[in-house]
Amino acid sequence: MSYSDYGDNDPIYGDDLAEEDRESRPRLMLMGLRRSGKSSIQRVVFHKMSPTETLFLESTSKINKDNIHSFIDFQVWDFPGQMDFFDPTFDTTAIFGEVGALVFVIDSQDDYMEALARLHTTVVAAHRVNPNITFEVFIHKVDGLSEDYKIDTQRDIQQTTMDELSDAGLENVQLAFYLTSIYDHSIFEAFSKVIQKLIPQLPTLENLLNILCANSGIEKAFLFDVISKIYIATDSSPVDSQSYEICSDMIDVIIDISSIYGRAAIGAKSQGYLEDHQDGQDDWTQQQDGHGDYEDTNGGIHQRPGASDMNSQTVVSNSSRAGSLNSVPTQQTSGNHEAFSVIKMGNGTVLYLREVNKYLALICLLKAETFEKQGLIDYNVHCFKEAMDQVFELKRAERTRREMEANQLLEEQRHNGMYGHG
Ligand SMILES: Nc1nc2c(ncn2[C@@H]2O[C@H](COP(=O)(O)OP(=O)(O)OP(=O)(O)O)[C@@H](O)[C@H]2O)c(=O)[nH]1
């Protein structure tokens, strides 16, 4: 995945975005009152900004358009809080016409009555222009609220919003509500669900993951976008936040070890620890800054000869969380240099990560007994990857076919224009 720089004068991704680009990418809009946390969400999720750094973000003064290049290309538009969308000079058709999802951010630590009024007018206007928009409401900054208060706030916001929409004759409009904070995994989990709605291949991916889980004894499988740590699909068993968190943390562990090991490896080379794999050692690390182009993940994880011994040798701390690690990951690059890692935890659960393509990683949770048949799991994952390739290849082929048809039509029109009067 690569990300745009989002400065106002960005020559590539700012206002100069090519017209055809505007049309071909699903658009995701971040709206809400000033200081509700829109830019922070965008920077934390897509640019790897640390949550505390968002304290220094300046207020957004114009729409920031951020092009996300990943398994699907989409745009995130961050709107300034003070913008009046309903000013007659504002082109609502252009704004809402192409939108895939509208994320409305409400600051739950503040008095939210004004935000609810704005949410209502936004939904009414957007739905009138484009009834296909999905509305996602982030009840944000819940890190400052107690568990009980979170639930009460969500119930109150949900009830008030739906009542008002129903009074306006819009009882059929679907809104999804999420409790979010940039200080924990909740923002990534919420974004995962939002993005999934923009992926046309989602049912196919879920089916493939179901088949993989059923045939390999895997308890839960997530397909992650490595940089953003958004999961784009999972099997159809219910998602519990802890499973998501531990899998998402695994990506961080792998990236951290990859970067430390990569650097250490250069130093250790003279001592004979390393045979190869130095190049590309920081690929995943580079991606983490949110600006790396994520072009080459091969060899992102490196193996010291005999690295698999690490698993049985090293015991790190144990803690009360089910997801705590008490053994160090076994990391390997497989024959074709794709990242692969296994973490065995103290509670008898195994975390299994495999790079699927340059954007995605598959992470599975399974029992240690099941993992004894690793050969079967490896083989099934290989089949899964091939099926995934086919799914995305079909999409590419379809796009190419449509482009060719459009070009042919254009040619014919040109030809008729030249010779049509003869
Ligand atoms: N506690 C807490 N603070 C947050 C969270 N998200 C954002 N903030 C803080 O909220 C403040 C405003 O965030 P911004 O991202 O600038 O808000 P915005 O909606 O983009 O504001 P405008 O650009 O003025 O529309 C910053 O100080 C952030 O650190 C959160 O999840 N929890």
Between 324 and 258, name the one with better pLDDT: 258
Averaged pLDDT, 283-311:
37
pLDDT digits (tens, 9 = 90+) for 204-216: 999 999 999 999 9
Looking at the fold, whether 222 and 362 belong to one and the same domain comes out as: yes
> ipTM of this model?
0.98
Tell me the residue type at 265: A
Say whether pLDDT at 6 is over 70: no
pLDDT band for position 405 (50/70/90)? confident
pLDDT digits (tens, 9 = 90+) for 35-51: 999 999 999 988 889 99
State the CB neighbour count (10 A cutoff) for residue 74: 20
pTM for this model (two decimals): 0.73
- Residue 165 sits in a domain of what CATH number? 3.40.50.300
Looking at the fold, whether 175 and 288 belong to one and the same domain comes out as: no
Which structural domain, as residue segments, surrounds residue 295? 209-377
Q: How far apart are CA 392 and CA 37, in angstroms?
A: 34
C-alpha 206 to ligand 1 mean position (Å): 34
Tell me how many helices (H) and strands (E) the chain has: 12, 13
pLDDT digits (tens, 9 = 90+) for 99-115: 788 999 999 999 999 99
Is 308:341 a contact under the CB 8 Å cutoff?
Answer: no
Q: How far apart are CA 194 and CA 176, in angstroms?
A: 9
C-alpha 195 to ligand 1 mean position (Å): 21
Question: Is 87 exposed, middle or buried (CB count within 10 Å of its CB: 0-12, 13-18, 19+)?
Answer: exposed
Largest separation between any pair of C-alpha atoms in the chain: 85
Alpha carbons within 13 angstroms on the beta-carbon side of residue 218 total 30
End-of-domain residue from the set 136, 168, 196: 196
Ligand 1 pocket check for 183: Cβ under 6 Å: yes
Ligand 1 pocket check for 290: Cβ under 6 Å: no
Q: How far apart are CA 347 and CA 379, in angstroms?
A: 26
C-alpha 91 to ligand 1 mean position (Å): 27
Total count of domains within the chain? 2
Q: Answer yes or no: is 201 within a domain.
A: no
Looking at the fold, whether 273 and 365 belong to one and the same domain comes out as: yes
Percent of the chain at pLDDT exceeding 70: 72
Ligand 1 pocket check for 80: Cβ under 6 Å: yes
Tell me the residue type at 144: G
Question: Is 307 exposed, middle or buried (CB count within 10 Å of its CB: 0-12, 13-18, 19+)?
Answer: middle
E strand intervals along 53-133 = 64-69, 74-78, 99-107
